[in-house]
Amino acid sequence: MLQALRRRTVIDREAALARELTKLHESSQLASLDELYRRVDSGEEPARGECVVLISGAESSGRAGTELEIDAVLKALLAEGIAPSTAAAVARRLFPDARRRDLYQLAMELGAE
């Protein structure tokens, strides 16, 4: 299974391999998909029992930004006298994965401080 996933998925994605969940010999490993494959292939991690593999999602094409980055942008725009709705619209262009309504609400809260 790991070999098939390794061929079809970006091998440097973080992944978790959990074996025998809720049983006496439960174990879990967290590493890149390539590293997990290496561990199983070398025998370092036994390839027996019930296994679950979780793979991290693909990177987003947009930029979500951290809360601190978003706060800093909105504060700077508001300090220049830009209206909260306009500040939220500008922030949305910089952080396309952020929700417009959340940006506007945050701009309103920051503007009231």
Do residue 42 and residue 80 come from a single domain?
no
pLDDT tens figures, 54-64: 777 666 544 45
CATH number at residue 51: 3.30.950.10
What confidence score (pLDDT) does residue 15 get?
Answer: 78
Do residue 6 and residue 32 come from a single domain?
yes
The domain tally of the chain equals 2
Do residue 8 and residue 47 come from a single domain?
yes
Residue 98: CA count within 13 A, CB half-sphere: 27
- Domain that residue 106 falls in: 67-112
Do residue 71 and residue 51 come from a single domain?
no
What confidence score (pLDDT) does residue 61 get?
Answer: 47
CA dist., res. 99 & res. 91, Å (int): 10
pLDDT tens figures, 2-30: 666 656 556 667 777 788 777 777 777 88
